[in-house]
Amino acid sequence: MAELIYLGMGSNVGDRMDWLRRALVQLGAAGLRVLRVSSVYETEPVGRREQPWFLNCVVEAVAEEPLDPQELLRRLHAIEHEAGRRRTKENEQGPRTLDLDIVLWGERQISLAGLQVPHARFRQRRFVLAPLAELNPELRDPATGKSISALLQRAPRERVRRFKEGLVGGAGGG
Question: For residue 104, what is the DSSP state?
Answer: E
Statement: 5-164 belongs to CATH 3.20.20.70: no
* Catalytic-residue membership of 22: no
Which residues are CB-neighbours of 168 under 8 A, at least 6 positions away?
24, 37, 174
Catalytic residue among 16, 36, 75, 96, which?
96
Domain positions in the chain: 5-164
Over the chain, what is the mean pLDDT? 88
pLDDT per residue over 88-119, tens digit each? Answer: 665 566 788 899 999 999 999 999 888 999 99
Alpha carbons 164 and 2: distance in angstroms, whole number: 29
CA nearest 51: which of 85, 22, 91, 84? 91
Q: 0.95 cut: is pTM over it?
A: no
Assess contact for 130 and 156: CB atoms under 8 A: no
Q: pLDDT per residue over 112-171, tens digit each?
A: 888 999 998 999 999 999 999 999 999 999 999 999 999 999 988 778 888 876 676 544
Active-site residue identified among 99, 125, 126, 141: 99
Q: Is 141 a catalytic residue?
A: no
Is 101 a residue of the active site?
A: yes
Q: Which of 6, 92, 105 is nearest to 56 (CA)?
A: 6
Identify the active-site residue in 16, 36, 75, 85: 85
Phi, psi (5° rounding) for residue 114? 80, 5
Q: Which is it for the CA torsion 158, 116, 23, 135, positive or negative?
A: negative
Task: Answer yes or no: are the C-beta atoms of 9 and 100 closer than 8 Å.
Answer: yes
List the catalytic residue out of 101, 123, 125, 126: 101
How many Cα neighbours within 13 Å face the side chain of 146?
14
